[in-house]
Structure 1
């Protein structure tokens, strides 16, 4: 099942520009909103307006979640998750399915040969960016990206933006 995609309004674009500190590039839609209704995850075209391939389909824009996720990354969680992938065949299979779901969602936006088969965040064999995994989990909903769901669970109690996680 593809993630939800809402058209980006001019207000959304202004909010995203403020969140990122720059004009958003290649945004196709809003994939998830924070509890207050602001964009929290955007869908990015697989090729940016300047022609560059861009594999990160789901991009986290919420500053509070971005900061909290950076703290998790600094804690060594990515290495721990990567070790678990090597030791747990069930988790590895679920993570591979997340990779395939990510690729399928991106394919709906177009084909870019330079990034064919490449998802983001280290999928399907390692964890190299929790921001991507969180963005994917929020955009796709629970049960699609198991490690992204773990990041949601770790952040949920302390992050008001996640109060209405669906």
Structure 2
């Protein structure tokens, strides 16, 4: 078993994620990516939720501005363009397959769930299904791991380098929650 690159979440982090989602956060095992102010942007979630539901989306995008940006991209029909990259560029397709394998390897230490064996998220490794999941993976794994997630982030109006947290009282360690930049 490998050690995850994040510590278990604190009660305060779970409260922030719950505020971001507008509901109680479930199955969170760590904060996989953060806003520049320290607030959660991506959570890592157990592959089986506490109620027993299989949950393949290990990296779950929670930051409201980031999720809105991915929703905007999906609404503007950018997904067929990104899918065409997989069909037209073998290097991107190969990198996307490697991203799928890396995703599965990251999730494996948190439990094997037969119902989702071999299933990652976002349509990997052969299609583009959910930019939220792909951007979440790209943010958690870092640039260069998930080429479609990286491209979605590049095309969005949101940046992980600029704080857009607007949830009053939800900042970690006294970080400001106002929009900057």
Common fold, TM-score beyond 0.5? yes
Aligned equivalent of 1:45: 46
Aligned equivalent of 1:109: 110
Say if 1:53 and 1:13 are closer, same or farther in 2 by CA, change over 3 A.
same
Say if 1:94 and 1:160 are closer, same or farther in 2 by CA, change over 3 A.
closer
Question: For 1:32, what is the secondary structure of its paired residue?
Answer: strand
Structure 2 gap segments, 5+ residues each? 164-181
**Once structures 1 and 2 are overlaid, which stretch shifts more, 74-83 or 122-131?**
74-83
Alignment of 1:1-166 (within 5 A): 4-155=5-156, 158-159=157-158, 161-163=160-162
Specify the structure having the higher radius of gyration (Cα).
Answer: 2
Question: For 1:142, what is the secondary structure of its paired residue?
Answer: coil
Q: Please state how far the C-alpha of 1:153 moved relative to its aligned partner.
A: 1.9
Say if 1:160 and 1:125 are closer, same or farther in 2 by CA, change over 3 A.
closer
Q: Please state how far the C-alpha of 1:79 moved relative to its aligned partner.
A: 1.0
Distance 1:67 1:82 in 2: 21
Contact 2:8 2:29 in 1 (8 A): yes
Question: What's the CA shift string for 1:10-64, capped at 9, x where partnerless?
Answer: 1111111110011001111110111111001000000000111100000000000
Structure 1 gap segments, 5+ residues each? none
Aligned residue pairs total 162
Contact 1:29 1:43 in 2 (8 A): yes
Distance 2:128 2:93 in 1: 11
In the superposition, the TM-score normalised over structure 1's length comes to 0.92
**Once structures 1 and 2 are overlaid, which stretch shifts more, 146-155 or 57-66?**
146-155
Say if 1:80 and 1:103 are closer, same or farther in 2 by CA, change over 3 A.
same
As a proportion of its length, which structure holds more helix?
A: 1
